Chain A
Amino acid sequence: MAKKFDPNIMAFLCNWCSYAGADLTGTSHFHYPPNMSAIRVMCSGRLNPLFVAAAFRQGADGVLISGCHPGECHYMQGNYLARRKISLFRNLLEFMGISPERLQMSLVSASEGKKFSNVVKEVTEKIRELGPLTIFEE
């Protein structure tokens, strides 16, 4: 039997909302696929698209960026700035022949533990369908 493809997903979670949301997912015992590794950043606006490129280069098949809801950013506007950068970077990835679905963004607040587990499930399923990322392999 062929082995099922298990994607590597790198998640960048904002300290104030999504990381706390992910924490709540754990303490509330909601299940989510173990394919995701989380990196905590202080704000989703901290995210340089180069982080995403470097994650892809080092073996990630998909990247998830999660921040606060609009208007709830701890730094007032970081998530708005992130949204701009990510939407343009997705277009650039598509132009280069990399599916933009590999870069996902979600908005999860500290109280949405259930939503976080659903987001990770959804992203994992999407990346599983797309298969391994090949342009970053020799």
Chain B
Amino acid sequence: MDNQKLVDEAIKILSQEDVKCIIGYSKDSNGFRVSPLFVRNKGDAEKLFFSPLCSMSLINYLTLEKGNFLRENKDAQGEKIAIMARGCDSRALMQLITEKGIAREEVIILGVPCRGVIDLKKIEAKFPGVRTCAEVTEDQDTYRVCFDNESHEIPREELLADHCKYCAFPNPLVHDLLLDEPVEQKPANYADIEAMEKKELDEKHEYWKEKFSQCLRCYACRNACPLCYCDNCILERLSPSWVNRSVNLPENVVFHLARSYHLAGRCAGCGECERVCPAHLPLMLLNRKLEKDIKELFGYTAGTDSEEKPVFASFNPKDPEDFIL
């Protein structure tokens, strides 16, 4: 991507009087990591950049900057915040607009077409102990990884984050300006979900039992999710306590049932929950399963149309009813 265009546009946006700040990515001094950057004056704008290492979603920083959507803070309104958004982030923004969390005119969306990002866990496993700032550029099929005056070429497939392999929305669906040419869009692919569905019930039971017993219940998946913004989370409430605080398999199962179901018809597919999970749980499997079923059963895809009613606030008399006794 042309970095100069990003910097120029950022300076142009900051010259508008009603813009509070720009939320974007900047290089970090430590290995493959990338930091979020809040640009409040024009001097900082040149630190902005985008590369395949930018795997985190910035939408949560918008929530932090604006204050919780559910609280009434009217004084903050009227000020705009500009934010860099990839395809999945734009879906999360669209979903927040649908839920009346943010108003469309309060954000300036800098759309970044994205061919997929690198999984930090994978690249750190491949190049352990890199402490100097590394740079990554991408070609059609390879990533060029540069650090310590060395350059390595790695096939894309080896480093690409898992949720990006199945991404059907690489281009921002909603944006005020696009920073690059749109990239090729692939049809939705649910191969991993279908493979899992075909397994026997016992096999699935054993698989999830093993996964959920590793869950630490650190709540990182919830905190990192751009669409989990409730002030008083039902998973932490003590009265009534739907999920107990104790960390054991049964409570973990209830926790994950509740977490994934709260995102049914809302998940934007950014993969943040999986990225931050210290136990490497395949949480996107659950989210994508629900996404697939909602698409097939109710013809709804989250974050694609801000005018459509949320899936559980509407119904169709022809909805499936073969399971009813």
Interface residues of A (CB under 8 A from B): 49-51, 53-54, 56-57, 70, 77, 80-81, 83-100, 104-107, 119, 122-123, 135-138
Tell me the residues in window 257-295 of chain B with beta carbons closer than 8 Å to chain A beta carbons.
257-258, 260-261, 264, 286, 289-290, 293-294
In the assembled complex, the Cα of A133 lies from the Cα of B140 at a distance in Å of: 50
Question: Does B125 sit within 8 A of A, measured CB to CB?
Answer: no
Closest 4 CB pairs of A and B: A97-B205, A97-B204, A80-B315, A106-B325
Would you list 25 pairs from A and B whose C-beta atoms are within 8 A, ordered by A residue?
A: A49-B257, A50-B242, A50-B258, A50-B261, A53-B254, A53-B258, A57-B253, A80-B319, A83-B324, A84-B312, A84-B315, A84-B319, A87-B320, A87-B321, A89-B261, A91-B289, A92-B260, A92-B264, A92-B286, A96-B205, A105-B325, A106-B324, A135-B209, A135-B249, A138-B250
Residue from A99, A107, A122, A138 within 8 A of B324 (CB atoms): A107
Q: Cβ of A98 and Cβ of B312 under 8 Å apart?
A: no
Chain B residues, CB < 8 A from A84 = 298, 311-312, 315, 319
A55 to chain B, nearest CB (A): 10
Are B325 and A104 in contact, with the CB atoms below 8 A? yes
In the complex with contacts A81-B315, A91-B289, A99-B201, A138-B248 CB distance below 8 A: yes
- Judged by a CB distance under 8 angstroms, whether B190 is at the interface is no
Given A80-B319, A81-B312: A135 touches B250 (CB 8 Å cut-off): yes
When distances are taken between beta carbons in the complex, the residues of chain B under 8 Å from A95 are 196-197, 204, 286, 289
Q: Which residues of the other chain, A, contact B315 by a CB distance below 8 angstroms?
A: 77, 80-81, 83-84
The reply to whether B323 and A90 form a contact with Cβ atoms under 8 Å apart is yes
Smallest beta-carbon distance B97→chain A, Å = 23
Residue B157 CB within 8 A of the other chain: no
B residues adjacent to A (C-beta < 8 A)? 196-197, 201-209, 234, 242-243, 248-251, 253-254, 256-258, 260-261, 264, 286, 289-290, 293-294, 297-298, 311-313, 315, 317, 319-321, 323-325
Main secondary structure of the interface of A (DSSP, over half): helix
Does A96 contact B317, Cβ atoms closer than 8 Å? Answer: no
The interface residues of chain A lying within 8 Å CB-to-CB of B290 are: 88, 91-92
Most central of A56, A87, A137 by chain B CB within 10 Å: A87
CB closest chain-A residue, reference B196: A95
Question: Within the assembled complex, what's the spacing in Å between the Cα atoms of A56 and B251?
Answer: 11
Residues of B contacting A96 with CB < 8 Å?
204-205, 208, 253, 256-257, 286
Residues of B close to A86: CB separation below 8 A: 323
Give every chain B residue within 8 A of A51 (Cβ-Cβ).
242
A105 in contact with B323 given A50-B242, A138-B248 (CB within 8 Å): yes
A94 touches B325 (CB 8 A): no
The answer to whether B253 and A136 touch across the interface, beta carbons within 8 angstroms, is yes
Query: Do B297 and A88 touch across chains, with their CB atoms under 8 A apart?
Result: yes
Write the chain A residue with the least CB distance to B256.
Answer: A96
Q: Which residues of B contact A54 (CB under 8 A)?
A: 242-243, 254
- How many Å lie between the Cα of A92 and that of B313 in the bound state? 19
Whole-angstrom distance from the CB of A129 to the nearest CB of chain B?
14
B198 to chain A, nearest CB (A): 11
Residues A123 and B325 in contact in the complex (CB < 8 Å), given A91-B293, A92-B289, A138-B248: yes
Closest beta carbon of chain A to B169's beta carbon, Å = 22
Q: For residue A105, which residues in chain B have a CB less than 8 angstroms away from its CB?
A: 323-325
CA distance A53 to B155 in the complex (A): 43
